[in-house]
Amino acid sequence: MLVRLETRDLGVIIDNKLNFNCHISAIAHKAHVGASLILRSFVTRDPDVLIRAFVTYVRPILEYCTPVWSPHTVSNINKIESYQRWFTKRIKGLSDMRYPERLAFFGPGNFTI
């Protein structure tokens, strides 16, 4: 019988096989909660304000200790990036654009994870 043990050290969840899938799922959930809170809380729908709020409050959650748990599988990368896709799609005037076009709208380096 294989027992899966997980531990948290400095906020990073790791299991006994040195797998970070639980950590990535946890931070993805936190990012979704934070992005939803931004969209519900801000009265303004100015894209620059919303993006600045996302970059200030959500991206640090997604980027914390990335050198330790660096996502290298496509599924983990997609899971992390899906909340940025979800958030940008809900910004007024960007919902009809494809994801690469939405990123290009904000300029290089301004909104990439």
Q: Of 61, 73, 63, 11, which is closest to residue 35 (Cα–Cα)?
A: 61
pLDDT in tens, 39-85: 999 999 899 899 999 999 999 999 999 888 888 889 999 999 898 89
DSSP H or E segment with residue 44? none
- Taking a C-beta distance cutoff of 8 angstroms, is the pair 42, 98 a contact? no
pLDDT at 71: 86
Whether residue 113 is predicted with pLDDT greater than 60 in this model: the reply is no
Q: What is the pTM of this model?
A: 0.84
pLDDT > 70 in the chain, percent? 93
- Taking a C-beta distance cutoff of 8 angstroms, is the pair 76, 21 a contact? yes
Average pLDDT on 107-111 reads 64
